[in-house]
Amino acid sequence: MDHNDELLLERIVRRSSGQERGPIPEFLAKKQAEQEPKTWLGYRTSLTKLSEFVGPEATVGEFTEAIGHSFLTALRDRDLSRNTIVVFQND
């Protein structure tokens, strides 16, 4: 099955509920089940920032190593501390 056109994060909002689908929520659900809460929260924070960086229409097929490097460069350009950026690199 080809997932290239699948959104990294798809948010479905209804009047009384919301749902997230895609590789990012699937990965986070797995980590939430396997890891300590603090570890899972770190993953969620990093992936939320990455999702905001690539935009709501980003697909699996568009996500490349170059995008990851651009994300880290953008973090450096925001004058974040080295320790903060290392957290993103290690997650």
* DSSP letters for 2-33: --TTSBSSEEEE-SS-EEEESHHHHHHHHHHH
Domain extent for 67? 21-90
pLDDT value of position 89: 61
Domain count, the chain: 1
Is 58 part of a structural domain of the chain? yes
Predicted local confidence at residue 66, as pLDDT = 92
12 assigned to some structural domain: no
| pLDDT band, residue 43 (cuts 50/70/90) | confident
Within-domain flag for 11: no
In a domain, 63, yes or no: yes
**Measured CA distances, 32 to 28, 63, 64, 84, 85 (Å):** 6, 23, 25, 22, 22
- Residue 5 · residue 59 · CB < 8 Å: yes
Output the pTM of the full model: 0.76
The stretch 11-39 carries a mean pLDDT of 92
Is 80 within the bounds of a domain?
Answer: yes
Would you say residue 9 lies in a domain? no
